[in-house]
Amino acid sequence: METLIVYESLWGNTRQVAEEIARGAREGSDALTLCAVADAPSSLRASVGLLIIGAPTHAFTLPTPSSRAEARAHGAAVAHAPGVREWLATLEVEAAPPRVAAFDTRQGRSFMVGSAAKSIARAAKRRSLVVSDSADFVVTSREGPLEQGELERAFAWGRALTASR
């Protein structure tokens, strides 16, 4: 089974989570590609059996051009455009849809802080992709770092996603 992991990250926290998910998922995958959304393919190959998508939560949802600009104004080094929102809006799914998992980073566990993963699920549905698994990882402040233990959780989540097939 081929695994593709696509992430957006402004300060690097979501990237770190994606890297740990990839480490966890590698053993259970025949092939694994980890890429920043700027480098993600515009169409899904039929060989991709598991697609994992991650993004930071901005204003309760997926980053937008203006929230990325705000992050940049607060010192974020990178502001991807397109991000996950734009990538999903035009993604071509040619063959049978893969299994899809979504994750986000955010500033708390309460539903009050919003969830980019939920927005990923809604955007994926518009491409006929069904998100069957999701996870959230918490940062201690807007710029990070991640809470203690989150990278270990990310590794375990990646391993479980590929072990359960």
Ligand X SMILES: Cc1cc2nc3c(=O)[nH]c(=O)nc-3n(C[C@H](O)[C@H](O)[C@H](O)COP(=O)(O)O)c2cc1C
Q: Cβ 154 to ligand X, closest distance in Å? A: 12
Contact residue for ligand X among 29, 105, 134, 162 (CB under 6 A): 105
Distance CA 157, CA 165 (A): 13
Applying CB under 6 A, does 41 fall inside the site for ligand X?
no
Distance CA 83, CA 66 (A): 12
Distance CA 54, CA 6 (A): 6
Q: Cβ 117 to ligand X, closest distance in Å? A: 11
Q: Cβ 105 to ligand X, closest distance in Å? A: 3
Contact residue for ligand X among 80, 85, 99, 106 (CB under 6 A): 106
Q: Cβ 2 to ligand X, closest distance in Å? A: 25
* DSSP structure string for 40-80: --SEE-TTEEEEEEEEE-BTTBS--HHHHHHHHHTT-S---
Q: Cβ 73 to ligand X, closest distance in Å? A: 9
Residues 7-36 vs ligand X: string with x where CB under 6 A? Answer: --xxxxxx----------------------
Contact residue for ligand X among 142, 145, 156, 160 (CB under 6 A): 142
Cβ proximity to ligand X: between 114 and 158 the closer is 114
> How many residues belong to the site for ligand X (CB under 6 A)?
23
The residues facing 61 across adjacent strands are: 58
In the numeric block, the tokens 């899904």 are attached to 44
Nearest-CA neighbor of 32 among 52, 7, 8? 52
